Structure 1
Amino acid sequence: MRRFRLAALLAAAVVALLPSTATAATYPDPRPVTGQQIIHDPTVIRLKSGGYVAYSTGGVIGARTSTDREHWEDAGNAFATPPSWWYEYNATGDPWAPDISYRAGRYWLYYAVSSWGTNHSAIGVATSPTGLPGTWTDQGKVFTSETTDTWNAIDPALIRADGKLWMAFGSYWSGIRMVELDPRTGKALPGTTVHHLATRPDEPYAVEGPYIVKHGRYYYLFASYDACCSGVNSTYKIRVGRSASVTGPYVDSTGTPMPAGGGDLLLAGHGRYIGTGGQSVFRDRGRDVLAYHYYDAEDEGTPKLGLNDLTWQKNGWPVVR
């Protein structure tokens, strides 16, 4: 009997260890990068001229460049000085959460200007022939929100679908939204419907930073849940849902709608890598790469660049490698 009990206790101990082991395997560490690693809300693109550029929150849209996606150099800022209209939204002309894409022979850089805790916000856009810092021409406001609105016009992300151009956006308030853009100007179409893609069931509705990717016959909505911007106390994590239509409804793998709080957990903090979020996805040599920031618990919570391959299971759902 004692031997049986001992064996049972040992088996229970092994089982108790399994969840943490599985969790560690589920959330891989970011791939090693060197050089200038400090970044927040990264958006990355492989340039037509070769090499990579990453833009981020901080500075006048902070810039990093790389020739190999591993070693990154500080490249200054997208703009030398903030466009004057930014000061309508905060006293320092501070931009947030950029998104870079290439379309119609030029690069497009979307970004947000706002103040902490308010939805008096605006999304703007700039264009460039090369995508490099110092070459951007600001084109003004794309879409705005006011305190009377139930959404927040920050964290833009572009997606082309069915011959149309769309922009997902949103933070807290009622969650993730989407509007259609004029492909010629890159700005919201007059009278565009504001679609609702995702939210949380309880206040403060902590979901933001959308990014949408088309894979197979589905559109996949990635979003950052919970709290950012608190160093090692951040609880950011990345969740995902999918839809056959770009405007939704998006559901997770259990069928729970994202507007009802659904979303499969894709990447969460683990070990020294705290508060993984502020994500975007870019294509590199035919493969998808997830870019995000994390707070380094071994470096006083400094926000740093995370890069991982994004692969796809047979059932269509993404996995971080």
Structure 2
Amino acid sequence: MFAAALAASGPAVPARPQTVPAGAATGSLNARLSGDVMPVHDPVIIREGSTYHVFSTGIGEGGQRILSVRTSRDLVTWKRGRAPFDRLPDWAVKAIPGASNMWAPDISYVNGRYRLYYAVSTFGSNRSAIGLATSATLDPAAPGYGWRDEGMVVMSRPEDDFNAIDAAFVADAQGRHWLSLGSFWTGLKLFRLDPATGKRLNPGEPPRAIASRTVPAGAPSIVEAPYIFAHGGYYWLLASYDYCCKGVNSTYYTVAGRAKSVEGPYLGKDGSALLKGGGTILLRADLAEKQRFRGPGHAGHFRDKDGTDYIVYHAYDRDRNGAPTLRIAPLRWDADGWPVAPEQ
């Protein structure tokens, strides 16, 4: 979510990417991640050919400050890629005064083009917008590379009860296209998309509510970063609860719920409804005195070509002054068909 708030609300984030030496650790995938893995906030991952691509909130210098990109050939060693943009689109500058970078991107491959959704906002405001850019390839050296601005998809204003950030695309079994999004306010929403354009199918249609948390009157619903994917005959909703962006003091954690319809209702393993702040914990950093990586959240799903499921997320590294760091963990599925992320 609010990577732009890190400097104001938590330990300083390194201005330049920091690297972890290759081969510095052995064991789980997270223990072996190396190279340019920080600062990374709100990551998503996709594979094109033999290259993995991580897109994340813009932090750094040059184009990386607008939107950050990293690549890997083995899912372990990461390096900076070519940033898609060197400035915000003109429509975004006009729509969201004061915005300086793109937040919480989502990447998917639809109808022969890559769709890159991103948020433009300012800290603490729901005057926010989701934009879309497309490209025929992610490889800057390949013919057809180049990001085409497709304009605004969804905008929220102070009078709205949602916040148009943290978007994620999903197509359901019926071929319908959807965009989940949301942060705080009254919770997470689901918008129907036009499969041909990637924009709202019926702009006047209200969104579906998919997750919220019961809070005192006038307080925000502390939930954000929805991500929906299909597995085992269900749609799975990942959501982040509590606060990010406070470095090692972040209380972020990730819950999961499942539903037979992409529209919900999403329930945890115990039957608790995500619309009422329920769900089953998937990622959490307990034991603050022992756990190096704090506040694991903003999780997205990735299914590799061999069928292995992964989640990609960020957590704050206690050993590096709370820097937001790329984390990738394989999912396993328990005997009851629920996801487990053993490597945190």
The normalised TM-score by structure 1 is 0.88
1:154-196 CA distances to partner (integer Å, 9 max, x unpaired)? 1001110111001110000011100100000000112334100
**Paired residues for 1:119-138 under 5 Å:** 119-132=126-139, 135-138=146-149
Please state how far the C-alpha of 1:216 moved relative to its aligned partner. 1.4
**Paired residues for 1:217-256 under 5 Å:** 217-256=233-272
Measure, in 2, the Cα distance between the counterparts of 1:126 and 1:74: 20
Tell me what 2:124 maps to: 117
Look up the equivalent residue of 1:266 and give its one-letter code: L
Tell me what 1:153 maps to: 164
**Paired residues for 1:93-104 under 5 Å:** 93-104=100-111
Measure, in 1, the Cα distance between the counterparts of 2:260 and 2:312: 24
**Paired residues for 1:163-182 under 5 Å:** 163-182=175-194
Measure, in 2, the Cα distance between the counterparts of 1:219 and 1:73: 33
Please state how far the C-alpha of 1:29 moved relative to its aligned partner. 8.3
Structure 1 residues 63, 200: CA separation in 2 closer, same or farther (over 3 Å shift)? same
The answer to whether the 8 Å contact 1:94/1:113 transfers is: yes
Look up the equivalent residue of 2:252 and give its one-letter code: Y
Measure, in 2, the Cα distance between the counterparts of 1:158 and 1:75: 23
Tell me what 1:3 maps to: none
Please state how far the C-alpha of 1:76 moved relative to its aligned partner. 4.1
Are 1:51 and 2:51 counterparts? yes
Look up the equivalent residue of 1:35 and give its one-letter code: G
Measure, in 2, the Cα distance between the counterparts of 1:306 and 1:250: 25
The answer to whether the 8 Å contact 1:86/1:93 transfers is: no
1:22-66 CA distances to partner (integer Å, 9 max, x unpaired)? xxxxxx88342111011110011011x321111100121110011
1:192 to 205, 209, 215: 205
RMSD value, Cα:
1.5
Measure, in 2, the Cα distance between the counterparts of 1:141 and 1:181: 13
Measure, in 2, the Cα distance between the counterparts of 1:101 and 1:118: 27
Identity of aligned residues (%): 44
Please state how far the C-alpha of 1:288 moved relative to its aligned partner. 0.9
1:218-264 CA distances to partner (integer Å, 9 max, x unpaired)? 11100111101111111110001111110011111111111111111
The answer to whether the 8 Å contact 2:99/2:120 transfers is: no
Tell me what 1:142 maps to: 153
1:267 to 275, 279, 283: 283
Larger Rg: 1 or 2?
Answer: 1
1:195-234 CA distances to partner (integer Å, 9 max, x unpaired)? 0001111132110000011111111100111101111111
The normalised TM-score by structure 2 is 0.82
Task: Specify every segment of 5 or more residues in structure 1 that has no aligned partner in the other structure, as ranges.
Answer: 1-27
Measure, in 1, the Cα distance between the counterparts of 2:236 and 2:165: 20
Please state how far the C-alpha of 1:80 moved relative to its aligned partner. 2.0
Look up the equivalent residue of 2:166 and give its one-letter code: D
Structure 1 residues 46, 286: CA separation in 2 closer, same or farther (over 3 Å shift)? same
Tell me what 2:312 maps to: 291
